[in-house]
Amino acid sequence: MLNRLGKQTLLFRNRPKVVGSYSVVGPKEGRGNFGKFFDKILEDDLFGEKSYEAAESKMLKLAITEAINNAKINKDEIDALFAGDLMNQIISSSFAARKLDIPYLGLFGACSTMAESLIMGSCYVDGGFARYAACATGSHFSSAEKQFRFPLELGTQRPPTSQWTVTGTGCTILGNTSTSNIYIENATIGKVVDWNVTDANNMGAAMAPAAMSTLKAHLDDTGRTPEDYDLILTGDLGKLGSEILMDLMEYNGYKIGNNYNDCGQMIFSNTQKTFMGGSGCGCGASILNSYIYSRMRNNELKSVLFIATGALMSTVSSQQGNSIPSIAHAVSIKIEGSK
Amino acid sequence: MFDPIMYLKVFAIGGLVCLIGQILIITTKMTSARILVSFLLLGVALEALGLFQPIKEFAGSGITIPIIGFGASLAHGAIDAGNTMGLLGVFTGGLTATAAGIAAAVLAGYIVGLIFNSKTKK
Amino acid sequence: MNELERNERYNAYVEAKMPKTKPWPSLFHAFWVGGLICCLGELIKDLCLYFFPYMTTQDAATWSLVALIILAALFTGLGIFDRIGAYAGAGTIIPITGFSNSIASPAVEFKREGLVFGLMSKMFIIAGPVIVSGVVASIVVGIIYLFI
């Protein structure tokens, strides 16, 4: 019996549970719209380290260890760690993993990594390959600026379509126990989509077609409509990208709007001058692992379709004039007893 | 010295040059490196065509402080030294004329780099 | 609809959908900050001539350039320049302050990768093209002038 629905969707029959979670964010994110939901807000985004890359790694490690504590299990019971980030050769994740002593698989899906790690963790737990699996990702504004854009002190203006990389990490612990009523129901793995957007300052427009493709595939595979979810939540399309996604879905005959939102659009307040909102792995990761799970635990949300989107380009490909290929993965998260 | 009319001219021309740059940034999405290169080459061209000197006499620092002035000095140095020393002068003239600026920028950048750390944006 | 056509239509749609910011405020910011920096240069030049009567105008102009370069590098290190730059755009990039900032900012940013491969080599990631294009163009102009 195949554990699949349609062409792209995996069905997790054993219902891997979300048994623990933790989120860490920087000071700016703490002052944003979700400050009271995050588990830890740093006062200084250097976090006592010598470099922003080291700070990012330390934030990831903190999210993982505290999520394990939050799940009230022993670290030795974690049989697999899935993590990724935006740095070249995913150093933040691997460097966080080197002191954790947990079997580790590094992932790269750009900003889609939260969904990617949840999918891999769910496969492991569902298939009986792990008692518990940790799924983590994060990003850091200052390290991302340095790698993808300009030195922090360079006096340039940010283009109006740009997004602000979120300084934040998040970790979800999945396990096959009955201690939690939040579970991963199924997941749709996206295809790489490229509609020839070349502007690296307009990621939302580059990634929206990927989100559309995955959302459509998910609805086709599961035979559902968008209304079947209390919330459809994309990772970091930002204000422009999420408007584009709504238009694209409408063009394809689906109406999303009332139950749709985007982490990038939500995370910062309007006064924080981030133009199109937040972006980065940490954007979806920090919101999912704080606000979303907390509302699910309180029964305010019963079914959430989390779609993390990622732009799969590098500085080299951008400089060579390549367009931006994008990907999106969807994870259906539900609470027991919901339809 | 301290001529108010001169300061008005400096302000107007200097501001105008920056305004043209800002229009370029908005319409072409050029990054600062490209903007700097474009205006530097504009300065070289103005000097080569003999247009820089009249503007400089009119606007003083309004045209020499923008990177256009840097480009004009490079070209002016190369042309001048070429006239007196021939081909070798063409090679030495440009950098000689701009040596003070480049040396100051390198030294200041080096020392600032040693002392300060980058701070995150708010 | 083939792929090429779809992409073209999509990019045209995105272009139309992009938020339209009014250019006037940023043009005004660039104008007055840029003009003011040039006036500061003129003031330093005049002060040099005032305190050192035997200084040539050319030397005074060079001193004012050097002073602005040092000031801009200092402001970069103090973390002030990027905030002025975010406000003024080309108003701080085009004057010589932008050249100085483009050297000092990577020096500060990349010093964590060491003095040689960090600070010193990354110093020119933005200013390098400026120096290269300027030197090449001036030599071309100089050679042309040799023959006319």
Give pLDDT tens digits for A85-133: 999 999 999 999 999 999 999 999 999 999 999 999 999 999 999 999 9
Q: Counting Cβ atoms within 10 Å, is residue B24 exposed (0-12), middle (13-18) or buried (19+)? A: middle
Count of pairs with CB atoms under 8 A, one residue in A, one in C = 87
Q: According to the model, what pLDDT value does residue A58 have?
A: 97
pLDDT at B2 over 80: yes
Taking alpha carbons only, the member of B72, B121, B80, B77 closest to residue B95 is B77
d(CA C80, CA A249): 44
- Which of A151, A155, A201 is nearest residue B118 as measured by Cβ atoms? A151
pLDDT at A339 over 70: no
Q: Is the dihedral of CA A275, A279, A284, A289 positive or negative?
A: negative
Q: According to the model, what pLDDT value does residue C148 have?
A: 82
pLDDT at B89 over 80: yes
**Domain range spanning residue B29?**
4-115
List the single residue in B with minimal CA-CA distance to A271. B122
Q: Which tens digit of pLDDT belongs to each residue from A9-43?
A: 999 999 999 999 999 999 999 999 999 999 999 99
Q: Is the dihedral of CA C69, C61, C143, B84 positive or negative?
A: negative
d(CA A133, CA A18): 10
Q: Which tens digit of pLDDT belongs to each residue from A247-291?
A: 999 999 999 989 999 999 999 999 998 999 999 999 999 999 999
- Count of beta carbons in the 10 Å neighbourhood of residue A278: 33
Answer left, alpha or beta for residue A336, where phi above 0 means left and psi between -120 and 50 means alpha. beta
Instruction: Give B22's contacts (C-beta < 8 A, 6+ positions apart).
Output: C23, C26, C27, C29, C30, C31, C89, C90, C91
Q: Where are the beta strands (DSSP E) in chain A?
A: 4-5, 9-11, 17-25, 40-41, 78-85, 104-106, 132-139, 164-165, 168-175, 182-188, 231-234, 260-262, 278-279, 303-311, 326-335
Residues of C in contact with B88 (CB under 8 A): none
d(CA A21, CA A135): 9
Instruction: Indicate yes or no: CB of B119 within 8 angstroms of CB of A152.
Output: yes
Q: Which tens digit of pLDDT belongs to each residue from A290-328?
A: 999 999 999 999 999 999 999 999 999 999 999 999 999
Mean residue pLDDT across chain A: 95
pLDDT at C21 over 90: no
Residue C83 lies in a domain: yes
d(CA B98, CA C133): 14
Substitution target from C29, C31, C38 for chain B, most B beta carbons within 10 A:
C38
Q: According to the model, what pLDDT value does residue A1 have?
A: 80
Residue C4 lies in a domain: no
Q: How many domains does chain C have?
A: 1
Q: According to the model, what pLDDT value does residue A57 have?
A: 97
Q: According to the model, what pLDDT value does residue A177 have?
A: 87
Instruction: Indicate yes or no: CB of A141 within 8 angstroms of CB of B25.
Output: no
- Which of A154, A197, A239 is nearest residue C102 as measured by Cβ atoms? A154
- Name the pLDDT band for A229 (thresholds 50, 70, 90): very high
In three-state form (DSSP H/G/I as H, E/B as E, the rest C), the secondary structure along A263-280 is HHHHHCCHHHCCCCCEEC
How many alpha carbons fall within 13 Å on the CB side of residue C138?
35
d(CA C51, CA A114): 64
- Which of C30, C99, C119 is nearest residue B22 as measured by Cβ atoms? C30
- Name the pLDDT band for A338 (thresholds 50, 70, 90): confident
Residue C18 lies in a domain: no
Residue B88 lies in a domain: yes
Give yes or no for a contact between A262 and A246, defined as CB atoms under 8 angstroms apart: no
In terms of DSSP bridges, do strands A231-234 and A303-311 run parallel, antiparallel, or are they unpaired? parallel
Residue C5 lies in a domain: no
Residue C2 lies in a domain: no
Residue C35 lies in a domain: yes
d(CA C7, CA B120): 37
Residues of B in contact with C91 (CB under 8 A): 15, 18, 22
State whether residue A307 is helix, strand or coil.
strand
- Which of A141, A157, A159 is nearest residue B120 as measured by Cβ atoms? A141
DSSP states of A193-238 as a string? B------TT-HHHHHHHHHHHHHHHHHHHHT--GGGSSEEEESS-H
Q: According to the model, what pLDDT value does residue A337 have?
A: 82
d(CA C40, CA C30): 15
Substitution target from C10, C110, C126 for chain A, most A beta carbons within 10 A:
C10
Q: Which tens digit of pLDDT belongs to each residue from B41-55?
A: 999 999 999 999 999
**Domain range spanning residue C132?**
24-146
Residue B63 lies in a domain: yes
Name residue A80's beta-bridge partners. Answer: A133
Residue type, A325: P
Q: According to the model, what pLDDT value does residue B120 have?
A: 86
In terms of DSSP bridges, do strands A260-262 and A132-139 run parallel, antiparallel, or are they unpaired? unpaired
- Name the pLDDT band for C71 (thresholds 50, 70, 90): very high
Residue B122 lies in a domain: no
Residue B53 lies in a domain: yes
Q: Please report the residues numbered 29 through 58 in chain A whose beta carbons come closer than 8 angstroms to any beta carbon of chain B.
A: 45-46, 52
Give the domains, in start order, of chain A with CATH numbers: 4-175 (3.40.47.40), 182-335 (3.40.47.40)
Residue B102 lies in a domain: yes
Instruction: Indicate yes or no: CB of C34 within 8 angstroms of CB of B18.
Output: yes
Mean residue pLDDT across chain B: 94
Q: According to the model, what pLDDT value does residue B1 have?
A: 77
Q: According to the model, what pLDDT value does residue B122 have?
A: 75
Name residue A170's beta-bridge partners. Answer: A23, A137
Q: According to the model, what pLDDT value does residue A132 have?
A: 97
Residues of A in contact with C86 (CB under 8 A): 155-158
Q: Is the dihedral of CA A101, A104, A109, A114 positive or negative?
A: negative
Name the minimum distance, in Å, from the CA of A123 to any CA of chain C: 34
Residue type, C131: I
Residues of A in contact with B25 (CB under 8 A): 157
Residue C84 lies in a domain: yes
φ/ψ of A197, rounded to 5, equals -90, 125
Taking alpha carbons only, the member of B85, C67, B12 closest to residue C59 is C67
Give yes or no for a contact between A137 and A167, defined as CB atoms under 8 angstroms apart: no
pLDDT at A239 over 90: yes
Q: Which tens digit of pLDDT belongs to each residue from A122-157?
A: 999 999 999 999 999 999 999 999 999 999 999 999
Q: What percent of chain A has pLDDT over 70?
A: 100
Give yes or no for a contact between B5 and B60, defined as CB atoms under 8 angstroms apart: no
Q: According to the model, what pLDDT value does residue A237 have?
A: 96
Q: How many domains does chain B have?
A: 1
- Which of C101, C110, C112 is nearest residue A155 as measured by Cβ atoms? C101
Q: Is the pTM of this model over 0.90?
A: yes
Q: According to the model, what pLDDT value does residue A35 have?
A: 95
Instruction: Give C47's contacts (C-beta < 8 A, 6+ positions apart).
Output: none
Residue C16 lies in a domain: no
Q: Please report the residues numbered 7 through 46 in chain B whose beta carbons come closer than 8 angstroms to any beta carbon of chain C.
A: 7, 10-26, 32-33, 35-37, 39-41, 44
Instruction: Indicate yes or no: CB of C90 within 8 angstroms of CB of B22.
Output: yes
- Name the pLDDT band for C121 (thresholds 50, 70, 90): very high
- Which of C21, C89, C92 is nearest residue A160 as measured by Cβ atoms? C21
In terms of DSSP bridges, do strands A40-41 and A17-25 run parallel, antiparallel, or are they unpaired? parallel
For residue A311, the Cα-to-chain-centroid distance in whole angstroms is 12
Q: What is the mean pLDDT of residues C91-108?
A: 96
Does B36 lie at the interface with A, CB-CB under 8 angstroms? no
